[in-house]
């Protein structure tokens, strides 16, 4: 917990320094740059379409391979509660991944596809050794970084991650690994 707070302090401090360096219209530019005040919603249709298709594929996999899981008491109610609660955590993850790391990678790497690939790799590594989350977060991290660089819109990615992350938990990970399915790091192996 101390490490997370320290990292957040460093990230917010770097944004503050960026703000001071770019004083002219800096507040608006900084918020746009990290995706909190998006000016572009042009990527909404492709992102929401990919989210809908991915969600549909996961439901098809779920009902094909794990139909008994949906019969558990309050399954859909728990799914909905998890989805609502996950929105805040998804926003924090997107703010850190896109608003901080993707922006830094963009300065260093310049090519959009390379930035997306490295951001996805970082996001996947953070979710190791979980065999469900590591590959799915790599794909989502890379795709999310690519869309973020085009639109600078954290809200679209937060909605997408909330829906797909909850679906992965309930439709794939829980049936395979039980309630500890979303753990990462050494805690996954317990």
* Helix (H) and strand (E) counts in the chain: 9, 0
According to the model, what pLDDT value does residue 131 have?
87
Q: How does pLDDT run across 45-94, given as a tens digit for each residue?
A: 989 999 999 999 999 999 999 988 888 888 899 999 999 999 998 998 99
Ranges assigned E (strand) in 60-124: none
pLDDT of residue 38: 81
Using only C-alpha atoms, what is the Rg of the chain? 18
Q: Name which of 161, 150, 162 is nearest 39 in CA terms.
A: 150
Q: Could you tell me the pTM of the whole model?
A: 0.82
User: Residue ranges per domain, the chain?
Assistant: 1-33, 41-189
pLDDT of 144 > 60? The answer is: yes
pLDDT at 19: 61
Instruction: Report the C-alpha gap between 50 and 102 in whole angstroms.
Output: 21
* Residue 189: band (very low, low, confident or very high) from pLDDT cuts 50, 70, 90: low
Whole-angstrom Cα distance, residue 103 to residue 147? 12
Q: What's residue 183's pLDDT?
A: 73
pLDDT value at residue 128:
87
What residues contact 117, with CB distance under 8 A and at least 6 apart? 142
Q: What is the pLDDT of residues 10-44, one digit of tens each?
A: 777 766 666 666 555 555 566 777 777 787 788 88
Distance, in Å, from the CA atom of 8 to the CA atom of 15, rounded to the nearest integer, reads 11
């Amino acid at each position: 917990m101390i490490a997370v707070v320290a990292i957040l302090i460093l990230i917010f401090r770097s944004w503050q320094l960026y703000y001071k360096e770019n004083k002219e219209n800096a507040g608006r530019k900084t918020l746009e740059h990290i995706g909190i005040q998006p000016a572009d919603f042009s990527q909404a249709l492709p992102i929401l379409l990919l989210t809908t298709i991915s969600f549909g594929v996961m439901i098809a996999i779920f009902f094909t391979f794990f139909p008994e899981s949906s019969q558990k008491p309050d399954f859909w109610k728990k799914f909905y509660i998890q989805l609502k609660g996950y929105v805040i955590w998804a926003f924090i993850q997107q703010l850190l991944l896109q608003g901080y790391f993707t922006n830094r990678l963009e300065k260093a790497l310049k090519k959009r596809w390379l930035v997306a690939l490295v951001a996805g790799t970082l996001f996947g590594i953070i979710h190791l050794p979980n065999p469900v989350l590591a590959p799915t977060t790599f794909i989502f991290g890379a795709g999310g970084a690519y869309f973020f660089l085009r639109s600078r819109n954290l809200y679209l990615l937060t909605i997408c991650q909330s829906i797909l992350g909850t679906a992965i938990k309930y439709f794939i990970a829980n049936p395979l690994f039980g309630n500890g399915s979303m753990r990462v790091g050494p805690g996954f192996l317990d």
